[in-house]
Amino acid sequence: MASGMNTVVVPVRDVGAAKALYEALLGQPPYVDQPYYVGFRVGGQELGLDPNGHAQGMTGPVGYWEVDDIEQTIASLVGAGGTLTAPARDVGGGMLIATVKDADGNPIGLRQSP
């Protein structure tokens, strides 16, 4: 079902300050630098900074699992006791994301590439 967790998104309030900090940590500039998202690629992984994350209910970093069929995965997780907290939505270019919480309230991010 999931092929691996390859993206972690961090909600940030000051995207400029966060970008400077992660550039210093990672030793490289972001490959995406937009007002709505800043993305770094490091060793096959993506670290994203989301300035709208807090407004969308994110309380901390969320790891996103790559899945083939996001709607089917949501249905399976909800059927297994998860709670849908953010339905699938297109975040650009056909990339779909969604979030489900487990029984303890931990977020599970889902990502379906176009």
pLDDT one-digit tens code per residue, 74-113: 999 999 999 999 999 998 899 999 999 999 999 999 999 9
- Whether 2 shows a pLDDT value over 80: the answer reads no
- Whether 23 shows a pLDDT value over 80: the answer reads yes
Q: What is the mean pLDDT of residues 51-72?
A: 94
Nearest Cα to 110, choosing from 76, 80, 59, 79? 76
Q: In this structure, which topology does domain 2-112 adopt according to CATH? A: 2,3-Dihydroxybiphenyl 1,2-Dioxygenase; domain 1 (3.10.180)
At residue 97, the pLDDT reads 95
DSSP conformational letter for 62: E
At residue 109, the pLDDT reads 96
Sheet of 107-112: strand order equals 32-34, 37-42, 45-50, 2-11, 62-67, 107-112, 96-101, 83-90
Cα–Cα distance between 32 and 95 in angstroms, integer?
15
Residue 101 near residue 108 (C-beta atoms within 8 A): yes
Q: What is the pLDDT of residues 40-59, one digit of tens each?
A: 999 989 999 999 999 988 88
Residue 66 near residue 45 (C-beta atoms within 8 A): no
pTM of the model: 0.87
Q: What is the pLDDT of residues 3-17, one digit of tens each?
A: 788 999 999 999 999
At residue 1, the pLDDT reads 67
DSSP string, 1-51: -EEEEEEEEEE-S-HHHHHHHHHHHHTS--SEEETTEEEEEETTEEEEEET
